[in-house]
Chain A
Amino acid sequence: MPSLATLLRLAALLVLLAFFLQPAWFEPLLRPLVQANAPAIYDRGNLFWLTMLHLRTVFVATLAAALVAVSLAILVTREAGAEFLPLSRSLVNIGQTFPPVAVLALAVPIFGFGEKPTLIALFLYGLLPIFENALTGLTTLPPAVMEAARGAGMTERQRLFKIELPLALPVILTGIRLSVVISLATATIGSTVAARTLGEVIIAGLQSNNLAFVLQGGLIVAVLAVLIHDALQGLERALAGRAHV
């Protein structure tokens, strides 16, 4: 018997799919939010297609951030790379403190309008949570386990891939989850520089004073964020449960 929370998530997913397939069903709900004659359902593009582009942007940016952040965390937790720890911490911190809007503004003159500046902004913004979590995961492994791995005659590479990464994986995934959720919301501002994301819907609503558009764009992003967050959390639990760490 699935729990109430699971049923609610399933319901949210079904409503979202219904909205993509039969947006007309929802028109009566959104109609009161718009002035007479204005469209209640976004009509300047396919919402499903926009959602896919939005997800693609988030996926590519997070994947790149995860690869770089985890590699960096592995590097600075090796004996040879320890001296780079403060430097990489500062770099990653700057990535997080620099506002994505400012990154967009700076990136547009170099890369032009479109998806690239958004990817860069999301990539930089997503580094910190993944890096910090990977660092925590890799530096808080049980000392007796590490000692046993060394004593058994595992090489440094074997220890990393057979022991350290599997044990740190749940914590690393937590970082990736945080990063994904932040990026899902932040990606909307990419549409200010002509990236195809759900931000388009929100911006169109703001420009034409159409509250229904703003609500649609916002809700789709919010539902996606909740569903993806929960799915990743489930994955973490499954992994941690097996490893019991």
Chain B
Amino acid sequence: MIEFDQITKHYGDTEVVSDVSLTVEPHTITVVVGTSGSGKTTLIRMVNRLVEPTSGVIRIDGEDNRSIPAFELRRRIGYAIQGHGLFPHRTVAQNIATVPILLGWGKARVKAKVEELLTLFQLDPSFFAERYPHELSGGQQQRVGVARALAAEPNLLLMDEPFGALDPIIRAKAQDDLLAIQKHFGTTIILVTHDMEEAFHLADRIAVMDKGEVLQYANPAEMLVRPATPFVEALIGASERPFRLLAIERAGDAVEPGAAEGTPIPASLSQRDALSQLLWSGRPALPVAAADGAILGKVSLEGLVKRAARPR
């Protein structure tokens, strides 16, 4: 659990973060969104003390994050940034091993961890371990950057626009990988982005920041239904609301009894993507299949349209 307690940060006369208090639950993904200059990056950089707050306290699992030296704190917290920041003179394996080696892990343990992570990120260790970062594609570099952040098995992972430099297709893949990895390790993730789509895709809770203040801190559905201020509403995009509402939930949750014609939709697909398939196929309903291929029932246009309507 990470508690921000009345955090304020001044640079000279400008206040970049003003009196932010919020609590991040363990094993969840919290996304901080805002325009550039909203103070979102400064806010998360205060968690691992790359920036020190002017006033206020950040507690990690109840403990003030200033109770241990900054470099020790940072070794316990994963940190992934835009443009990955891989060390160009070190191989992929050496990059990933950065924090474990700082912590003095044994050779065998480091090697095993590097191989585990490379495999998890679908990078063949026998091919990639000895490569240098400049020999990798952008998407691969980004994955190595996240693998490096996770190498010492941190409970908390901070991500500052980690997918900002990726093209849309690789970005969507990277986001899905992140969700899978978060499930795998149960890591608490705080992610900063200016991309609303990304926020709704990843977040358990979203904090919207503007001019250093948190305007709203809520789960995605609540934020859609009850935006706290016109700014939040504008950021969500009024015309996007029904689709974002559908995007949050899975097709499996909208299953109705009955049979339907057509290619089955996987239950894990978002309701938004299910709607899109219904519209494209021109059918009023499509069957829904579980991961093992068993037909669970159907999703209908009518059902999804109801779900997309403003909840009362």
Q: Name A's B-contacting residues (CB within 8 A).
A: 142, 144-155, 158, 163, 166-167, 242-245
Chain A residues contacting B71 (CB-CB under 8 Å) are 153-155
Chain A residues contacting B133 (CB-CB under 8 Å) are 244
A-B contact pairs, 7 of them (CB 8 A): A142-B88, A147-B81, A149-B85, A153-B71, A154-B102, A167-B88, A242-B89
Q: Name B's A-contacting residues (CB within 8 A).
A: 48, 50, 71-76, 79, 81-89, 98-99, 102, 132-134, 145, 148, 158
Chain A residues contacting B134 (CB-CB under 8 Å) are 244
Contact A163-B50, Cβ < 8 Å, known A151-B79, A152-B99, A153-B74: no
Residue pair A167, B50 in contact (C-beta under 8 Å): no
Residue pair A142, B85 in contact (C-beta under 8 Å): yes
Chain A residues contacting B84 (CB-CB under 8 Å) are 144, 148
CA gap between A150 and B88 in the complex, in Å: 15
CA gap between A53 and B143 in the complex, in Å: 55
Residue pair A152, B86 in contact (C-beta under 8 Å): no
CA gap between A161 and B132 in the complex, in Å: 19
Chain A residues contacting B158 (CB-CB under 8 Å) are 151
Chain A residues contacting B99 (CB-CB under 8 Å) are 152-153
Residue pair B79, A245 in contact (C-beta under 8 Å): no
Residue pair B88, A151 in contact (C-beta under 8 Å): no
CA gap between A147 and B154 in the complex, in Å: 18
CA gap between A142 and B75 in the complex, in Å: 21
Chain B residues contacting A149 (CB-CB under 8 Å) are 85, 87
Whose C-beta in chain A lies nearest to the C-beta of B74? A153
CA gap between A166 and B72 in the complex, in Å: 23
Chain A residues contacting B102 (CB-CB under 8 Å) are 152-154, 158
Give 4 nearest A-B pairs by CB, closest first. A148-B85, A153-B75, A151-B79, A153-B74
Residue pair B89, A245 in contact (C-beta under 8 Å): yes
Chain A residues contacting B87 (CB-CB under 8 Å) are 145, 148-149, 163
Chain B residues contacting A244 (CB-CB under 8 Å) are 88-89, 132-134
CA gap between A152 and B145 in the complex, in Å: 11
Residue pair B73, A153 in contact (C-beta under 8 Å): yes
Other-chain residue from A152, A154, A155, A167 in contact with B89 (beta carbon distance below 8 A): A167
Whose C-beta in chain A lies nearest to the C-beta of B94? A162
